[in-house]
Amino acid sequence: MDAGRALRGLMVAIDEHRWDDLGAFLHPDFVCRLVHTGESFGREDWIRFNRDYPGFEHLSIEDFVSGTDEAVCRSHVTCRGDDGLQHFECASFARMQDGMIVRLTEVWTDVEQQAPPGTRPHIVADAG
């Protein structure tokens, strides 16, 4: 399986809550690193992390680029929490080995997040 098929298949399985199918895409030596928290997960721990994530509802693929051995996906993820529906964006970078994903690097952000005050110039871009 090439990287595009593997990463897209993994994302679809996550969206459809098919937790038992995730392992079919992941190499036995799989490691996922979450850049924003510094955490790393092995294969079984990452599957469990996704399966048990509180309130997860939906994942939609927004951007996708792939080659034979690497693929990148930007997805929009929704979760239901105490404050209602939460929206996240995730960039996932996959690397293949032996036809399976062996490395996954993810960067997550909260869509509701605002830039710190005073850190952005007050410039209006010319749309022309």
Q: How far is CA 99 from the centre of its chain?
A: 20
Residue 123 lies in a domain: no
> What is the model's pTM?
0.88
Token pair, residue 81, equals 């929490």
Token pair, residue 2, equals 């090439």
3-state DSSP assignment of residue 72? strand
3-state DSSP assignment of residue 97? strand
- Give me the CATH number covering residue 53: 3.10.450.50
3-state DSSP assignment of residue 15? helix
Q: Closest by alpha carbon to 79, among 91, 88, 71?
A: 88
Go through 19-49 and write b for each residue having 16 or more CB atoms within 10 A of its CB, e for each that does not.
eeebbebbbeebbbebeeeeeebebeebbee
| Whether the predicted pLDDT of 123 surpasses 70 | no
Residue 122 lies in a domain: no
Residue 9 lies in a domain: yes
Task: Write the pLDDT tens digit of every residue in 10-33.
Answer: 999 999 999 999 999 999 999 999
61 pLDDT band, cuts 50/70/90, is very high
Residue pair 116/128 in contact (Cβ under 8 Å)? The answer is: no
What domain count does the chain have? 1
Highest mean pLDDT: which range of 20-29, 74-83, 117-126 = 20-29
Structural domain containing residue 82: 3-110
